[in-house]
Amino acid sequence: MANNFFRDPEILYGGSLLAGTDEAGRGPLAGDLYAAAVILDPNKPIQGLDDSKKLSAKRREALFVEICEGALAWNISIASVEEVDRINVLQASMLAMQRAVEALDPTPEFVAVDGNRLPNWNFASVALVKGDSRVAEISAASILAKVARDRHMQEMHEIYPKYGFDKHKGYPTKPHIEMLREFGSCRIHRQSYRPVQQADLFNS
């Protein structure tokens, strides 16, 4: 991004209460889905914001602190494993982002959402494919969501160490699938996901 206050041409808003929101954790087989929303402060520019997937874990951690200390407002919310299973992962991601945005204080005047869908809300908003590399506010939200979820999965590793959540963060890697087949699923596995169902059948 050229600067921290780049405005995508699709954002028909030029004020200072633009929120960005993004989620982390749609693909994993285990763990809660996280979402974050951020309103940046134009008087406290943050250098180096980008799509969280393009940043190292160390850089994400450093930016996490800088965003939390410098943003006008930020919030991190979740949709639980149970909600993912009950309403499906797409709707759970919409719900988590809605919770994150609605918790912001001050209330945003416009919301930029990463992806091609909008949550069911009344905010003036736009969905932007690859928005986390196009809009600084979405980039900041993607970093908060990613770091928070990675921390959650590290905590889950302490409870369920045999699955290796500290390494794959719940994603369907070969080692994770092998552990699922050997031990079956645990409480934080998403029972609506086919690999989890197949592993439990294999393990029964």
Give the separation between CA 16 and CA 20, rounded to whole angstroms.
12
d(CA 22, CA 177): 27
pLDDT score of 182: 94
What distance in Å separates the CA atoms of residue 156 and residue 99, rounded to the nearest whole number?
23
Predicted model pTM: 0.93
**Which tokens hold the place of 87?**
């309403």
| CATH class of the 18-149 domain in this structure | alpha beta
Asked if residue 37 lies in contact with residue 19, where contact means CB atoms within 8 angstroms, the answer is yes
73-79 and 33-39 beta bridge pairing: antiparallel
pLDDT tens string 2-58: 334 456 767 778 788 999 999 999 999 999 999 999 999 989 989 999 999 999 999
pLDDT tens digit string along 157-186? 999 999 999 999 999 999 999 999 999 999
Q: What is the pLDDT of residue 3?
A: 38
> Which amino acid belongs to residue 159?
I
What is d(CA 75, CA 71) in angstroms, rounded to the nearest whole number? 10
